[in-house]
Each structure stands twice: as C-alpha cells, then as structure tokens.
C-alpha cells in the first residue's frame, strides 16, 4: 500500500499531488495548481505523470497562488480530461440565491467548470430552501456545519476526507468580497469570464535574519509572536484531514487559524484523542504566522510538517510559525520543504541545535515526495 504527497514547484503557492492505494488500484488527488507565473513548472510535472488521472481536483480558494494554475489545468487539452470531480466553492455556494461568480479568477474558473461539464462539489448537499444553481452537476457548498459531526466524504479507493474548513460564516463573508472585486473589474457578477487574469510578477521580500543565538529561549520568544489573518479568501479555504490505511494527512490550505483550531477540536472529540494524531501536516498558508497559532499546534500530535513556498512575495515560512511547531512538538521534528530558500536555508544549518531538521528535494525541479 502507498500513501504519499508530492509538493510541486509552485513558487510561493501550492500545488500538491496525493497518491494512495496499491500497485493495481492507485488513486490521485490534485490540490491547487499554483500561480500562473509558475505554471510551466507545474504543468511539466503533471505531464511527467503520464498515466495519472485525478479522482478529485480541489481548488481550495480563489487566491491567485492557488487558482491561477487551476484555470490553466482546465484549459489544457492534455490535462483537463484527467480530472473527474472538482471541489470549489463558487459564489452560489457562499450565498443562497446567488449566481455562480467569484473574484476575477473565480469567475474565470467557474466558466471552465460549467462549460467543461465537470462534476462540481459532488456529494455535498444544498441546505433546505436554497435557490441553487440550475444544474444537477453542481453540488452544494463544501462547508462545515456549526454543529454535529464534521462532514466525512468517502473517496474512491478507501480514503476518507474529513472537512475542517470553511464555515458558513466565512463563506458568507467571502461572498461580499467577491461581489465587490468582480464589479471593480467591470465584469457582470454571475456571467463568468473566458479570460485569464495574471497576478503581478513575483518579487523578493527580505525578512529579518534568525537571532544570533538560536536556543530554546530564542525559539520560545519567536513562538510568542502572534498575528491574525483577516483575508476573506483565506477564510473560505477548503481544508481537511485525509484518512487512509490508518494514517492521517492534514491539508491546511490557507485556512484561518481559528477555524482550523475549532475543526481540530471537534475532530479530536470524535476520535477520542486529546491531541489529534497526525502522520503528516501541510502547514497552513505556507507557514504564515497568521495561520499557525498556538491553539492549532497544541491540538496536533505530529513531528513531520510540510512547507510549500519559495519565499517570494510574503517571505514564507515565518520563523515564528516554525518556532510554534518546535515548542509544541516532542522533538526531534522534521520539516519538508520543496525549496531551499533564504527563509529555509538558515534553518537547515541551525535548526538541529533546537531539535529541528529540514529536508529538501534531491533534484533540481523543486519537487519533494514524502510518504505519509
């Protein structure tokens, strides 16, 4: 049996391929496809996997470093036919009675999903009385209810996804932001758009160096720094625990720390664990301090963490987020990174002094395969 995740070369964004199953019954999930500026590298890796099809393509939210390449996947005649089901919350899923719309990239992705005839949010139910989008191919919102059991979706091949984010409140907040952004771009909300808007070129963001003396006291000081993510888009993220063969992988997307913590607390109660046993954690928001809170890490029992970022634009991962993981985990703790960047390379050299080791690809493609 195999259960693995590969971080693709998505620059400062996310593009992940999860594989599980046996040699005769393999299954793959594709989660995001990075920003458009790094599409060539992601496309090359997806094309390299010549026999792969994807039981599920999760587009976690509408930020360009996750959705930019997703639009390209659905435009690519050599790739789009490999996609079976899509999870993505359009505006119709955020606001009852709304049409299918989103920010500019959300409009563009929606156009591809609808015209391409893909199964969309299959298995998710519409709330009673919802004025749903007029197509049987469009399921309900990917959302965590405020009470009851967390949604658990059976996937092909015996895996199960247990949803942690988003909540209905976060989706409703996103709906307001989407409307404003679409109108600002002089588009008609709900009409879709056939274009593909690119984000500005990535840039380097210098960050302060690690302390001259890196010891437990310095790590605790860094771990005490806290920020809050106020992005409506990140609040709408699809995040879940993937269970397979008695192993668990947390895919945190860019979810808000408060939502992740609440979801993890409910999951812990459901599985009767004080701290959730996880075999591998994909750090939320590329290791941003605003999304890795003390409350989140204190609910997790795991000593293996993934970081997907080359450090462009935002300087991720934040030293304080790494420090939070180190202080909350039984050491040694291992961080797996798909880029040796100005943010991660200093930790590679100095991390062992505080019980942290860093692993990087042994290839020049910035792809990292890790077994769960």
- Average pLDDT taken over every residue of the chain: 91
Q: What is the predicted pLDDT for the residue at 129?
A: 63
Q: What is the predicted pLDDT for the residue at 144?
A: 96
Q: What is the pLDDT of residues 109-122, one digit of tens each?
A: 988 998 898 999 98
303-322 mean pLDDT: 95
For residue 133, pLDDT beyond 60: no
**100 — pLDDT class (breaks 50, 70, 90):** very low
For residue 314, pLDDT beyond 90: no
Q: What is the predicted pLDDT for the residue at 257?
A: 97
Q: What is the predicted pLDDT for the residue at 189?
A: 60
Residue extents of the structural domains in the chain:
2-371
301-315 mean pLDDT: 95
Whether 72 contacts 150, CB under 8 Å: no
**190 — pLDDT class (breaks 50, 70, 90):** low
The answer to whether the peptide bond before residue 166 is cis (omega within 30 degrees of 0) is: yes
**184 — pLDDT class (breaks 50, 70, 90):** confident
Q: What is the pLDDT of residues 43-97, one digit of tens each?
A: 999 999 877 899 999 999 999 999 999 999 999 999 999 998 999 998 778 765 4
314-320 mean pLDDT: 94
CATH architecture, domain 2-371:
4-Layer Sandwich (3.60)
**101 — pLDDT class (breaks 50, 70, 90):** very low
């Amino acid at each position: 049996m195999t259960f693995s995740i590969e971080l693709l070369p998505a620059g400062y964004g996310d593009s992940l391929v999860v594989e599980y199953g046996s040699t005769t019954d393999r299954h793959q999930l594709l989660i995001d496809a990075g920003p458009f500026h790094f599409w060539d590298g992601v496309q090359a890796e997806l094309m390299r996997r010549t026999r792969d099809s994807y039981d599920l393509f999760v587009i976690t939210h509408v930020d360009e470093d996750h959705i930019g390449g997703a639009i390209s996947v659905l435009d690519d005649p050599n790739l789009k036919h490999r996609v079976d089901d899509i999870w993505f919350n359009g505006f119709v899923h955020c606001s009852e009675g709304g049409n299918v719309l989103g920010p500019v990239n959300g409009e563009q992705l929606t156009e591809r999903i609808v015209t391409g005839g893909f199964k969309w949010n299959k298995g998710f139910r519409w709330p009673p009385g919802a004025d749903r989008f007029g197509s049987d191919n469009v399921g309900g919102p990917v959302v965590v209810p405020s009470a009851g059991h967390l949604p658990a979706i059976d996937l092909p091949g015996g895996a199960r996804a247990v949803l942690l984010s988003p909540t209905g409140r976060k989706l409703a907040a996103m709906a307001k932001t989407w409307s404003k952004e679409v109108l600002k771009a002089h588009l008609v909300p709900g009409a879709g758009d056939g274009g593909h808007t690119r984000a500005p070129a990535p840039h380097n963001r210098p960050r302060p160096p690690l302390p001259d003396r890196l010891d437990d006291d310095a790590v605790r000081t860094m771990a005490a720094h806290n920020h809050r993510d106020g992005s409506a888009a990140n609040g709408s993220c699809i995040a879940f625990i993937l269970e397979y063969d008695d192993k668990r992988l947390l895919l945190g997307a860019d979810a808000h720390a408060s939502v992740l913590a609440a979801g993890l607390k409910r999951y812990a109660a459901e599985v009767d664990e004080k701290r959730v046993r996880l075999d591998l954690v994909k750090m939320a928001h590329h290791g941003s301090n605003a999304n890795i809170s003390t409350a989140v890490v204190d609910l997790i029992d795991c000593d293996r963490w993934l970081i997907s970022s080359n450090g462009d634009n935002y300087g991720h991962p934040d030293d304080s987020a790494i420090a939070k993981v180190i202080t909350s985990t039984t050491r040694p703790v291992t961080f797996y990174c798909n880029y040796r960047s100005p943010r991660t390379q200093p930790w590679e050299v100095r991390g062992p002094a505080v019980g942290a080791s860093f692993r990087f690809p042994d290839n020049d493609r910035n792809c990292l395969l890790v077994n769960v």
